[in-house]
Structure 1
Amino acid sequence: MNHHVLPPLITAVSTGLLCPGLLARARWVGRAPRLAVAAWGVLAAAFTVAVAFGVMLLMLPYDGAHEMAHHAAACLPRDGQDCGAPADPSDRWALTAAAAVFALPAAAFCRELLTARRRRARHASGLRLIGRADTRLRATVVPHGEPAVYCLPGRQAQIVVTTGAMDILSTDQLRAALRHERAHIAGRHHVVIGAVDAFRRVFRGLPLARQAGSQVPLLLEMTADDRALRHCPRDVLATALYSMAAARVTDRSAFAAGGPSVAIRIARILDRSGAGRPVLTGLLWMGAAGLVMLPAALTCCLILP
């Protein structure tokens, strides 16, 4: 094995095995959930790129790795050089294998989006039979005793409110719950969930995939809470979530204001203690994680022959 494989190997181990646990336990993620979601995305992207390059380099002989590096340099837009296609068949097979690593999560992502879209379409067809449109709430009202407010995102997004929720929520509480759901729709959070599910499906058993699958949905709920808090008091949103804590929405493609994460979110909403500078802390954390792999890359690619 040539030494060029070490940088992607170190990157894959760091992003796939070591960093997920550190990020899941970091205190700043609850204060800056949007940045935390971005951090999970950076880890997933770095791991995928590292695996692709690692597979490509493993398929090349020692001299072939140097030739591939010179070929990649020729493709850079300078001096008008035309890189063309690799002449060596082994180079072409290595590039094909690397492309396949990228294609697998991309195909799984498309599949997740299509599957979720079909589920939402079936759910929406049922709502048309039993629900009624409420222009004042800009939502679909469903006769059901269990208090629930949720949304079906996508191109034809809609928010669903049960009559049970309308009975127990005050006007301000209902407005806060509706703002929470509109934040999910505006943020296109269903696309993020589709990407996380696709990554978990392809890299099943990987700590990064497992941790992201459990952390990202909670962070997206926190992000929607923060968006709603721009227009309503903390206690109003907290009491609205508490009233719908037992709500269960069976459709996995829907975002519900209640659910199992309510206790964590209510504690976070009501926590008025100083948060410091969570965004700065998160950026420093992400920068430090990237610098961990820099010495190894420099050693392998610049110092070693």
Structure 2
Amino acid sequence: MLQSAFFLECAFFIEILSRCCRKAVGKFSREGRQNMILCHKISELKEFVHQCKKEGKTIGLVTTMGALHEGHASLIKAAHAENDVTITTVFVNPTQFGPNEDYAKYPRTLPHDMKIAEAAGADLLFAPSPEEMYPHKDPTWVEVCGPITKVLCGRTRPIHFRGVATVCTKFFNLTECDRAYYGLKDAQQTQVLQRMVEDLFMNVTLRMMPIVREADGLAKSSRNVYLSPEEHKAALVLSRSLKHAKEAFDKGERSKAKLIAQVTDEIKSEPMSDIDYVEMYGMPGLTELDDTLTGKALLAVAVKFGKTRLIDNVVLEA
């Protein structure tokens, strides 16, 4: 009799516990998935992060604008390997697009992104709306000032890095991440974010990961889908010219002007190319360089093929 009562009591508590667990999980949308959580609300993300921190878990963050590819997957895999929990964001951030840029047509492929993120090891994917991230008409901005945001892409995209710095600050705060992962294809962005983290004493370590390329050498980018087959073939001149510049550097060429001219001439030899810039700056910090190179330098290019603007770079270190 006592045994029956005991088992009944156990069954009762198990049912109560099961209901509580179902209630907690129900606050997040798993979209039929067994592992990765999908959430859209800041309140849901905060609840998840609070529980992770309560359990003493480290958090790795990968911020993206979606249209995920192997480059993003490599960042998620790195975060998964180095942290207890990996959070990925998918948010096409309106504040980093200028008035004549491609915000409206930027690829939005959340079901595809979920598959890529989960396969790479993400534990939670946060996909908020613009209204969720920018609740006020006149938002607070985070802006890194000085030459670091005025050269390269900053010259023709004056509000871009303000939008990047602002949204990344929000994501760092919301996720309380220990580490955040960025690809070196966006080399200027990595330098801007590193400066921001240092200047604002943010408690996050930025991990800069190598450029991931397609088999033919083109740097992986969400914008590659805009290229026609002919434009894609033409765009291979970017990685090819940078590779040749590095070969010249490794053989002893130390003239900044000559290396820039070599890359410029090779890109111009491709009729479909329209050069925005071919420039070189010191790293870290994108500092001005003397013509004779010493230390570490970034050789960066931005070129349009048709209507698609692509960037690429190589780091040269004496």
TM bucket, shorter chain: under 0.3
What TM-score comes out, normalization by structure 2 length?
0.21
Please state which structure has a larger fraction of its residues in helix: 1
Q: Quick one: higher RCO (CA 8 Å, sep 6+), 1 or 2?
A: 1
What TM-score comes out, normalization by structure 1 length?
0.22
Please state which structure has a larger fraction of its residues in strand: 2
